[in-house]
Amino acid sequence: MTLLEEIWKDKIIAIVRGIPSGYMLPLADALSAGGIVMLEVTFDQRSREGIQETLRSIEQLRKERADKVAVGAGTVLTPQQVRDACEAGARYIITPNVDPDVIAQAKRCQMVVMAGAYTPTEIERAYRAGADIVKVFPAKAAGADYIKAVHAPLAHIPLAAVGGVDVGNIAGFFKAGVCSVGVGGCLVDKKEIQRGDFAQITEKAKAFVEALPL
């Protein structure tokens, strides 16, 4: 099974943002125990140290949990960050925008690309540039009805919903036509992680998986 096929099968990508590398292994264990095995570790673009911390987390997951989770890099903004993420062990990249140079670099690195877009023009541009999946971002602001309307003429383009996806609305986004979703703070909660409540994260992961439409 290819990585792209895995994304289509597993459907949910956990967005790991602002979590120190020291928590990555128990977090990966908690999410995978709940049935979520796709982890997007986002670049912290605010500082060089933040960027390096992201790469440390990706490398750690590749070395220690490659048998449990498929790790990707998120908030990727430059071709150099694509190369760095690939070297650290990321298998896919996720961007918040449409940057043909970033997409092209990812394809040269043989990585799956999910590029962020909002309008039909941006979605088509991202797909034409080589994105394997186009994420509609922010999805909650757009709503499932918007995605359904956009998907009708662009049904050949695989879409993902990212930004505001929760247990209550996840099924609606899939019914609207997306192939996957990204879930952030309502799943990967910093306070729960800091106090070591990984069992709660596992239970939330299970709830998201159970909320998927049959």
Residue 64 falls in the annotated catalytic set: no
* Bridge partners, 117 (sequence order): 136
Q: What mean pLDDT comes out for the span 91-99? A: 98
Give me the percent of the chain exceeding a pLDDT of 70: 100
Numbers of helices and strands, H then E, in the chain: 11, 8
Active site residue 40: yes
Q: Decide if 137 contacts 157 (C-beta within 8 A).
A: no
pLDDT digits over 174-199, tens only? 999 999 999 999 999 999 999 999 99
Q: What is the mean pLDDT of residues 102-116?
A: 98
Nearest to 31 by CA among 213, 188, 153, 195: 188
| Active-site option among 40, 53, 59, 124 | 40
Q: Which two tokens stand for residue 189?
A: 């909660």
Over residues 140-144, mean pLDDT? 93
Do the beta carbons of residue 28 and residue 62 sit within 8 Å? no
Percent of the chain residues topping a pLDDT of 90 = 98
pLDDT reported for residue 209: 98
- Can you tell me the distance from the alpha carbon of 54 to that of 42, in angstroms, rounded to the nearest whole number? 7
Average pLDDT of span 82-105: 98
Rounded to an integer, the average pLDDT of 75-103 is 98
Identify the active-site residue in 53, 124, 135, 204.
135
Cα–Cα distance between 100 and 150 in angstroms, integer?
A: 21
Tell whether the model's pLDDT for residue 134 goes beyond 80. Answer: yes
Q: Is the pLDDT of residue 214 over 90?
A: no
Examine the pLDDT at 135 and tell me if it is beyond 90: yes
The torsion angles phi and psi of 116, rounded to 5 degrees, stand at -85, 140
Over residues 33-53, the mean pLDDT reads: 95
Element (H, E) at 12: strand 12-16
Structure-token match 């709660």, residue found: 200
Determine contact, residues 14/183, Cβ cutoff 8 Å. yes
pTM (2 d.p.): 0.96
What rounded mean pLDDT belongs to the chain? Answer: 97
Nearest to 170 by CA among 195, 198, 204, 197: 204
pLDDT computed for residue 69 by the predictor? 98
